[in-house]
Amino acid sequence: MNKNPKLVVYGIIALVLIIILANTLYTIDETKQVIITQFGEPVGDPVSDAGLHVKVPFFQKATYFEKRILEWDGDPNQIPTKDKKYLLVDTFARWRIVDPLKFFQSVNNERNALGRLDDIIDGITRDYISENLLIEVVRNSNRAMAFSTEEQSELIMEVDSLKIEKGRMAITNVILEKVQEVVPQYGIQVEDIRIKQVNYIEEVRTKVFDRMISERKRIAMLYRSEGQGKKAEIEGQTDRELQKINSEAYRIAQEIRGKADATATEIYASAFNRDPEFYTFMETLNTYRETIDKSSTVIFSTDNDYLKYLKTQK
Protein backbone atom coordinates (compact mmCIF):
# COMPACT_ATOMS: atom_id res chain seq x y z
CA MET A 1 0.00 0.00 0.00
CA ASN A 2 1.22 3.47 -0.82
CA LYS A 3 1.77 5.87 1.98
CA ASN A 4 -0.43 8.89 1.48
CA PRO A 5 -0.55 11.58 4.18
CA LYS A 6 -3.80 12.96 2.75
CA LEU A 7 -5.50 9.65 3.21
CA VAL A 8 -4.50 9.51 6.87
CA VAL A 9 -5.97 12.98 7.45
CA TYR A 10 -9.28 12.03 5.74
CA GLY A 11 -9.37 8.90 7.78
CA ILE A 12 -8.90 10.75 11.06
CA ILE A 13 -11.56 13.35 10.14
CA ALA A 14 -14.03 10.59 9.27
CA LEU A 15 -13.35 8.79 12.54
CA VAL A 16 -13.88 11.92 14.61
CA LEU A 17 -17.13 12.66 12.73
CA ILE A 18 -18.39 9.17 13.36
CA ILE A 19 -17.62 9.38 17.08
CA ILE A 20 -19.36 12.77 17.41
CA LEU A 21 -22.37 11.58 15.44
CA ALA A 22 -22.65 8.38 17.49
CA ASN A 23 -22.63 10.46 20.68
CA THR A 24 -25.20 12.91 19.36
CA LEU A 25 -27.75 10.48 18.02
CA TYR A 26 -29.52 7.93 20.16
CA THR A 27 -32.41 5.58 19.53
CA ILE A 28 -35.34 4.77 21.75
CA ASP A 29 -37.00 1.38 21.51
CA GLU A 30 -40.79 1.08 21.59
CA THR A 31 -40.45 -0.46 25.04
CA LYS A 32 -38.30 2.29 26.52
CA GLN A 33 -38.36 5.90 27.61
CA VAL A 34 -35.41 8.15 28.26
CA ILE A 35 -34.35 11.02 30.44
CA ILE A 36 -31.35 13.11 29.49
CA THR A 37 -28.91 13.93 32.23
CA GLN A 38 -26.15 16.49 32.14
CA PHE A 39 -23.40 15.74 34.61
CA GLY A 40 -25.89 13.55 36.46
CA GLU A 41 -28.59 16.23 36.58
CA PRO A 42 -31.73 15.67 34.49
CA VAL A 43 -32.35 18.18 31.75
CA GLY A 44 -35.53 18.76 29.80
CA ASP A 45 -38.59 16.58 29.61
CA PRO A 46 -38.38 12.80 29.46
CA VAL A 47 -38.48 11.43 25.93
CA SER A 48 -40.81 8.58 25.29
CA ASP A 49 -41.24 8.62 21.49
CA ALA A 50 -39.53 5.66 19.93
CA GLY A 51 -37.09 6.44 17.16
CA LEU A 52 -33.96 8.46 16.49
CA HIS A 53 -33.20 11.44 18.73
CA VAL A 54 -30.50 14.04 19.18
CA LYS A 55 -28.68 15.23 22.28
CA VAL A 56 -25.61 17.26 23.05
CA PRO A 57 -22.69 14.94 22.61
CA PHE A 58 -20.38 14.01 25.47
CA PHE A 59 -21.98 16.32 28.05
CA GLN A 60 -25.41 14.68 28.03
CA LYS A 61 -26.20 11.11 28.78
CA ALA A 62 -29.38 9.12 27.97
CA THR A 63 -30.76 6.94 30.75
CA TYR A 64 -33.31 4.35 29.70
CA PHE A 65 -36.40 3.24 31.60
CA GLU A 66 -39.09 0.66 30.82
CA LYS A 67 -42.26 1.97 29.24
CA ARG A 68 -44.10 -1.36 29.34
CA ILE A 69 -46.29 -2.71 32.11
CA LEU A 70 -44.05 -4.42 34.65
CA GLU A 71 -44.70 -7.19 37.10
CA TRP A 72 -44.55 -7.19 40.85
CA ASP A 73 -44.97 -10.46 42.70
CA GLY A 74 -45.34 -10.38 46.44
CA ASP A 75 -44.26 -13.10 48.82
CA PRO A 76 -47.03 -15.09 50.51
CA ASN A 77 -47.88 -13.24 53.70
CA GLN A 78 -49.42 -14.75 56.78
CA ILE A 79 -52.32 -12.48 57.66
CA PRO A 80 -55.06 -13.01 60.25
CA THR A 81 -58.57 -12.10 59.12
CA LYS A 82 -61.09 -10.31 61.29
CA ASP A 83 -62.52 -13.67 62.36
CA LYS A 84 -59.01 -14.80 63.41
CA LYS A 85 -58.43 -17.22 60.56
CA TYR A 86 -54.78 -17.26 59.55
CA LEU A 87 -54.31 -17.00 55.83
CA LEU A 88 -51.41 -17.06 53.43
CA VAL A 89 -52.12 -14.27 51.00
CA ASP A 90 -50.06 -13.99 47.83
CA THR A 91 -50.64 -10.87 45.76
CA PHE A 92 -49.32 -9.60 42.48
CA ALA A 93 -49.46 -6.19 40.89
CA ARG A 94 -48.94 -4.63 37.47
CA TRP A 95 -47.23 -1.29 37.44
CA ARG A 96 -45.38 1.06 35.13
CA ILE A 97 -43.08 4.00 35.19
CA VAL A 98 -45.23 6.98 34.22
CA ASP A 99 -42.89 9.73 35.31
CA PRO A 100 -39.33 8.61 34.62
CA LEU A 101 -37.93 11.83 36.04
CA LYS A 102 -39.55 11.33 39.44
CA PHE A 103 -38.74 7.67 39.22
CA PHE A 104 -35.11 8.43 38.52
CA GLN A 105 -34.88 10.95 41.33
CA SER A 106 -36.74 8.97 43.99
CA VAL A 107 -35.90 5.33 43.48
CA ASN A 108 -33.42 5.47 40.63
CA ASN A 109 -33.92 1.92 39.36
CA GLU A 110 -36.37 -0.96 39.10
CA ARG A 111 -34.90 -3.00 41.88
CA ASN A 112 -35.34 -0.18 44.37
CA ALA A 113 -38.85 0.43 43.06
CA LEU A 114 -39.80 -3.21 43.62
CA GLY A 115 -38.50 -2.97 47.17
CA ARG A 116 -40.59 0.13 47.75
CA LEU A 117 -43.66 -1.61 46.26
CA ASP A 118 -43.04 -4.59 48.58
CA ASP A 119 -43.32 -2.32 51.58
CA ILE A 120 -46.33 -0.37 50.35
CA ILE A 121 -48.47 -3.16 48.87
CA ASP A 122 -47.74 -5.75 51.57
CA GLY A 123 -48.56 -3.25 54.29
CA ILE A 124 -51.81 -2.03 52.78
CA THR A 125 -52.86 -5.58 51.88
CA ARG A 126 -52.24 -6.69 55.45
CA ASP A 127 -54.30 -3.77 56.79
CA TYR A 128 -57.32 -4.46 54.64
CA ILE A 129 -57.33 -8.24 54.76
CA SER A 130 -57.19 -8.19 58.56
CA GLU A 131 -60.14 -5.78 58.60
CA ASN A 132 -62.35 -8.24 56.78
CA LEU A 133 -63.85 -11.65 57.41
CA LEU A 134 -62.34 -14.65 55.69
CA ILE A 135 -65.37 -15.18 53.49
CA GLU A 136 -65.05 -11.66 52.08
CA VAL A 137 -61.59 -12.53 50.81
CA VAL A 138 -62.65 -15.86 49.32
CA ARG A 139 -65.95 -15.04 47.68
CA ASN A 140 -66.72 -12.46 45.09
CA SER A 141 -70.49 -12.57 44.90
CA ASN A 142 -73.46 -14.04 46.71
CA ARG A 143 -74.38 -16.40 43.92
CA ALA A 144 -76.31 -19.42 45.12
CA MET A 145 -73.97 -22.36 45.15
CA ALA A 146 -75.16 -25.82 44.15
CA PHE A 147 -74.44 -29.02 46.01
CA SER A 148 -74.49 -32.58 44.77
CA THR A 149 -76.96 -33.68 47.43
CA GLU A 150 -80.04 -31.94 48.70
CA GLU A 151 -79.26 -33.44 52.07
CA GLN A 152 -76.46 -30.97 52.53
CA SER A 153 -79.00 -28.51 53.80
CA GLU A 154 -77.07 -28.11 57.01
CA LEU A 155 -74.08 -27.05 55.00
CA ILE A 156 -76.07 -24.64 52.87
CA MET A 157 -77.40 -23.08 56.04
CA GLU A 158 -73.85 -22.55 57.12
CA VAL A 159 -72.97 -20.97 53.81
CA ASP A 160 -76.02 -18.72 53.95
CA SER A 161 -74.78 -17.43 57.24
CA LEU A 162 -71.56 -16.50 55.48
CA LYS A 163 -72.97 -14.12 52.91
CA ILE A 164 -70.56 -11.45 51.85
CA GLU A 165 -70.93 -7.70 51.91
CA LYS A 166 -67.95 -6.70 49.79
CA GLY A 167 -66.11 -9.63 48.30
CA ARG A 168 -62.63 -10.10 46.97
CA MET A 169 -62.81 -7.64 44.07
CA ALA A 170 -64.07 -4.84 46.29
CA ILE A 171 -61.32 -5.48 48.81
CA THR A 172 -58.58 -5.55 46.20
CA ASN A 173 -60.02 -2.40 44.65
CA VAL A 174 -59.75 -0.61 47.99
CA ILE A 175 -56.18 -1.86 48.35
CA LEU A 176 -55.44 -0.62 44.83
CA GLU A 177 -56.90 2.81 45.60
CA LYS A 178 -54.83 3.13 48.75
CA VAL A 179 -51.69 2.05 46.92
CA GLN A 180 -52.41 4.51 44.11
CA GLU A 181 -52.50 7.32 46.64
CA VAL A 182 -48.95 6.55 47.74
CA VAL A 183 -47.01 5.53 44.66
CA PRO A 184 -47.21 8.61 42.38
CA GLN A 185 -44.38 10.23 44.37
CA TYR A 186 -42.11 7.57 42.88
CA GLY A 187 -43.25 8.27 39.34
CA ILE A 188 -45.05 4.93 39.37
CA GLN A 189 -48.58 4.02 38.47
CA VAL A 190 -49.98 0.76 39.80
CA GLU A 191 -52.42 -0.60 37.22
CA ASP A 192 -53.86 -3.49 39.11
CA ILE A 193 -53.49 -5.48 42.30
CA ARG A 194 -54.82 -9.00 42.49
CA ILE A 195 -54.83 -11.70 45.08
CA LYS A 196 -53.10 -14.63 43.47
CA GLN A 197 -53.45 -17.17 46.24
CA VAL A 198 -55.36 -17.32 49.47
CA ASN A 199 -54.84 -20.42 51.52
CA TYR A 200 -55.13 -21.46 55.09
CA ILE A 201 -51.88 -21.83 56.97
CA GLU A 202 -50.81 -25.39 57.66
CA GLU A 203 -52.54 -25.83 61.06
CA VAL A 204 -55.82 -24.31 59.93
CA ARG A 205 -55.64 -26.35 56.75
CA THR A 206 -55.52 -29.59 58.76
CA LYS A 207 -58.59 -28.48 60.67
CA VAL A 208 -60.42 -27.65 57.47
CA PHE A 209 -59.51 -31.03 56.04
CA ASP A 210 -60.82 -32.69 59.19
CA ARG A 211 -64.07 -30.77 58.84
CA MET A 212 -64.35 -31.76 55.18
CA ILE A 213 -63.75 -35.39 56.12
CA SER A 214 -66.43 -35.40 58.80
CA GLU A 215 -68.80 -33.62 56.42
CA ARG A 216 -68.24 -36.27 53.75
CA LYS A 217 -68.60 -39.07 56.28
CA ARG A 218 -71.91 -37.61 57.32
CA ILE A 219 -73.07 -37.55 53.71
CA ALA A 220 -71.88 -41.14 53.23
CA MET A 221 -73.74 -42.18 56.38
CA LEU A 222 -76.82 -40.45 55.07
CA TYR A 223 -76.64 -42.40 51.81
CA ARG A 224 -76.19 -45.67 53.67
CA SER A 225 -79.12 -45.11 56.01
CA GLU A 226 -81.23 -43.95 53.08
CA GLY A 227 -80.42 -47.23 51.39
CA GLN A 228 -81.30 -49.20 54.49
CA GLY A 229 -84.51 -47.23 54.93
CA LYS A 230 -85.57 -47.79 51.36
CA LYS A 231 -84.70 -51.45 51.70
CA ALA A 232 -86.86 -51.82 54.83
CA GLU A 233 -89.68 -50.03 53.02
CA ILE A 234 -89.49 -52.41 50.07
CA GLU A 235 -89.27 -55.41 52.39
CA GLY A 236 -92.34 -54.19 54.29
CA GLN A 237 -94.20 -53.69 51.05
CA THR A 238 -93.19 -57.18 49.93
CA ASP A 239 -94.44 -58.69 53.16
CA ARG A 240 -97.72 -56.78 53.05
CA GLU A 241 -98.44 -57.83 49.48
CA LEU A 242 -97.43 -61.39 50.23
CA GLN A 243 -99.85 -61.61 53.16
CA LYS A 244 -102.59 -60.03 51.10
CA ILE A 245 -102.11 -62.37 48.16
CA ASN A 246 -101.95 -65.49 50.33
CA SER A 247 -104.91 -64.62 52.52
CA GLU A 248 -107.04 -63.55 49.59
CA ALA A 249 -106.31 -66.79 47.81
CA TYR A 250 -107.20 -68.74 50.94
CA ARG A 251 -110.44 -66.82 51.38
CA ILE A 252 -111.51 -67.32 47.76
CA ALA A 253 -110.61 -71.02 47.85
CA GLN A 254 -112.53 -71.58 51.05
CA GLU A 255 -115.54 -69.73 49.66
CA ILE A 256 -115.52 -71.90 46.56
CA ARG A 257 -115.21 -75.07 48.64
CA GLY A 258 -117.93 -73.97 51.01
CA LYS A 259 -120.32 -73.17 48.20
CA ALA A 260 -119.63 -76.53 46.60
CA ASP A 261 -120.15 -78.33 49.91
CA ALA A 262 -123.43 -76.51 50.41
CA THR A 263 -124.62 -77.36 46.92
CA ALA A 264 -123.65 -80.99 47.36
CA THR A 265 -125.45 -81.15 50.70
CA GLU A 266 -128.56 -79.71 49.13
CA ILE A 267 -128.43 -82.16 46.24
CA TYR A 268 -128.02 -85.11 48.61
CA ALA A 269 -130.75 -83.92 50.91
CA SER A 270 -133.32 -83.34 48.19
CA ALA A 271 -132.65 -86.79 46.75
CA PHE A 272 -132.55 -88.78 49.98
CA ASN A 273 -135.51 -86.99 51.46
CA ARG A 274 -137.78 -88.92 49.12
CA ASP A 275 -137.37 -91.97 51.32
CA PRO A 276 -135.10 -91.63 54.35
CA GLU A 277 -135.92 -95.19 55.46
CA PHE A 278 -134.77 -96.70 52.16
CA TYR A 279 -131.71 -94.48 52.10
CA THR A 280 -130.74 -95.77 55.56
CA PHE A 281 -131.33 -99.35 54.48
CA MET A 282 -129.28 -99.03 51.35
CA GLU A 283 -126.44 -97.16 52.92
CA THR A 284 -126.29 -99.60 55.84
CA LEU A 285 -125.97 -102.48 53.43
CA ASN A 286 -123.16 -100.60 51.78
CA THR A 287 -121.38 -100.12 55.08
CA TYR A 288 -121.60 -103.88 55.71
CA ARG A 289 -119.88 -104.41 52.39
CA GLU A 290 -117.17 -102.02 53.35
CA THR A 291 -116.58 -102.99 56.99
CA ILE A 292 -116.85 -106.78 57.02
CA ASP A 293 -113.67 -108.46 55.80
CA LYS A 294 -111.56 -111.58 56.11
CA SER A 295 -110.62 -111.08 59.74
CA SER A 296 -114.19 -110.73 60.84
CA THR A 297 -115.82 -113.58 62.71
CA VAL A 298 -119.51 -114.13 62.33
CA ILE A 299 -121.62 -116.25 64.58
CA PHE A 300 -125.08 -116.88 63.30
CA SER A 301 -127.83 -118.09 65.41
CA THR A 302 -130.24 -120.30 63.54
CA ASP A 303 -133.09 -118.07 64.59
CA ASN A 304 -131.41 -115.43 62.48
CA ASP A 305 -133.58 -114.24 59.71
CA TYR A 306 -131.01 -115.17 57.13
CA LEU A 307 -130.73 -118.76 58.34
CA LYS A 308 -134.30 -119.34 59.23
CA TYR A 309 -134.67 -121.62 56.23
CA LEU A 310 -131.98 -123.92 57.60
CA LYS A 311 -134.32 -124.57 60.51
CA THR A 312 -137.74 -124.64 58.98
CA GLN A 313 -136.65 -127.21 56.45
CA LYS A 314 -136.61 -129.81 59.30
Partner 1 sequence: MNKRVINIGGENVVIPEFKNSLLLYIIVGFIVVWMVFSSAYTVDADEVGVIQRFGKYATTTTPGLHFKIPLGVETVTKVRVQRVFKQEFGFRTIKAGIKTQYSDRDFSSESLMLTGDLNAALVEWIVQYRIKDPVKYLFKVRDVEATIRYVSESIMRQVVGDNSVDEVIILSRKSIALQAQELMQSLLNDYETGVDIVTVNLQDVNPPVPVQPAFNEVNEARQEKERIINEARETYNTIIPKAKGQAEQAILEAEGYATNRINRAKGDADRFTQIWREYSKAKDVTKRRMYIEMMREVLPKIDKKYIVDDELKSFLPMLQLGKEAGK
Question: Binding string to partner 1 for residues 121 to 160, with x set by CB under 8 A, is what?
Answer: -------------xx--xxxx-x-xxxxx--x--x--xx-
d(CA 36, CA 39) in angstroms, rounded, equals: 10
Pick out residues in 52-81 that bind partner 1 (CB under 8 A).
52, 66-71, 73
Q: Exposed/middle/buried for 194, CB within 10 Å: 0-12, 13-18, 19+?
A: middle
By beta-carbon proximity to partner 1, the closer residue of 131 and 230 is 230
Pick out residues in 97-126 that bind partner 1 (CB under 8 A).
none
By beta-carbon proximity to partner 1, the closer residue of 56 and 259 is 259
Size of the site for partner 1 (CB under 8 A): 130
Q: Which residues contact 307 (CB under 8 A, 6 or more apart)?
A: 300, 301
Query: Which of these segments, 97-105, 115-123, 177-185, 191-199, binds partner 1 (CB under 8 A)?
Result: 191-199
Least distance to partner 1 from the beta carbon of 180, Å?
15
**What letter represents residue 273's amino acid?**
N
d(CA 263, CA 259) in angstroms, rounded, equals: 6
Does 51 bind partner 1 (CB under 8 A)? Our answer is yes
The CA R_g of the chain, rounded to the nearest whole Å, is 56
Do β-strands 60-66 and 51-54 pair in parallel, antiparallel, or remain unpaired? unpaired
d(CA 17, CA 36) in angstroms, rounded, equals: 22
d(CA 263, CA 257) in angstroms, rounded, equals: 10
d(CA 244, CA 148) in angstroms, rounded, equals: 40
Pick out residues in 2-41 that bind partner 1 (CB under 8 A).
2, 4, 6-7, 10, 14, 17-18, 21, 27-32
Question: Binding string to partner 1 for residues 249 to 288, with x set by CB under 8 A, is what?
Answer: xx-xxxxxx-xxx-xxx-xx-xxx-xx--xx-xx--x--x
By beta-carbon proximity to partner 1, the closer residue of 41 and 216 is 216
